[in-house]
Amino acid sequence: MTNNFPEKSIFISPSTNDELFYQREENREFLLSEKGETFEFSEGFPDLTFPKKLDEKAVNIRQIYNDASDIYDQFLHQTFKTHNEDETTSRQYIIDKLKQKSDSKVLEIACGTGRDSELIAQRLGENSQFVMVDLTPSMMKRCQLRLSTTNIEKIFCIANACYLPFPDKYFDAVYCFAAVGVFPDIKKSLAEMTRVTKTGGKIVFSDESMPLWLRDTYFSKVLANTNPKVLWEVPLKEIPVSARNVTVQWIIGGIFYLIDFEVGEGEPVGNFDYPVEGPVRGGTLRTRYEGRLEGVTKEAKELVYKAAKAKGLTIHQWLDSVVKEAANKDLNLEQ
């Protein structure tokens, strides 16, 4: 095997995070890391599926969509027809949330046959990069054909949404419509979307789930009878702590949630150290939390309030002074 690395790709190994390079040997095309890890091409697409042996749920999903790829587009419009909505208008509304620019790097996860991909691509220019990921090669082939006349940089790959083969903070925006609910690990997939998105970038995802206030209605019972997916839960608990400016709404007849957020850094940071205004408790938000001690009797608490008031101090000021004085005295006695 050659050790030359002539062409760096955008991909990293989903198992080791090592950079991958395009390699060609006679009739073979593959991706190779400097450590010798290889990823073959499948049906013309780099196959970065990880783990290479998928769990049962992922295998079943891949098979379902592989079997449906020939007829998938024939029936998808019925979802929108049921709710008297124009499909293109509905999809454009979701895509608007990406806030993409003409030169953005955009990742679409579970691109399917490319119904959204085509609309996203129309908003991108010559300096952009559009990457599309799906677990099913047969679906992606249709997406590739649909975008064949689109004159932008397009990259396709087969990958597991829970192990995205891209560097940290690479994309300006990440998009996923009608697929999150079938991912093997929703929390991990959303964490991966966040990892590969630049700070300040947008993540937009939408899937089926009827809001709680509609679930006992005739409307709900009719729809759930044919499509139980409308009773799936909204994955609010799975959203990463680094999500900022999160919005949640229901669209397409109220049976699809739509969540979008900006990517921040870690958990939010609050101003916890300013003196809390007020004549009684005092202290700061941080001291009230970090300075908590074992509880005292009700009588002791009442005496503290009276003593602090008599001294013209807040509870925090009185307690802080008295506790330090008593503790220092006892510590000095021990020495």
pLDDT, one tens digit per residue, over 164-196 is: 999 999 999 999 999 999 998 999 999 999 999
Q: Give percent of the chain above pLDDT 70.
A: 98
Is 314 strand, coil or helix? coil
| Residue 279 within a domain | no
Cβ–Cβ < 8 Å for 227, 252: no
What Å distances lie between residue 257 and 41, 182, 251, 252, 313, CA to CA?
A: 35, 15, 6, 9, 51
**CATH code at position 101:** 3.40.50.150
- pLDDT, tens digit, for every residue of 59-92? 888 888 878 777 878 888 899 999 999 999 999 9
Domain identity same for 237 and 99: yes
* One domain for residues 224 and 292: no
| 172 in any annotated domain | yes
Q: Is the pTM of this model over 0.85?
A: yes
Q: Which domain holds residue 290?
A: 285-334
CA distance 317 to 281: 9
Residues 297 and 178 in one domain: no
DSSP string, 41-54: EETTEEB--SSSS-
Q: How many domains does the chain have?
A: 3
> What's the pLDDT tens digit per position in 102-158?
999 999 999 999 999 999 999 999 999 999 999 999 999 999 999 999 999 999 999
Domain membership of residue 155 (yes or no) is yes
From the list 45, 316, 54, the residue with the least C-alpha distance to 183 is: 54
Contact predicate 136/66, CB 8 Å:
yes
Query: Are 162 and 225 members of one domain?
Result: yes
Question: Any idea what the Cα angle at residue 289 is, between residues 287 and 292, rounded to 5°?
Answer: 85
Closest CA to 152 of 127, 170, 176, 117: 127
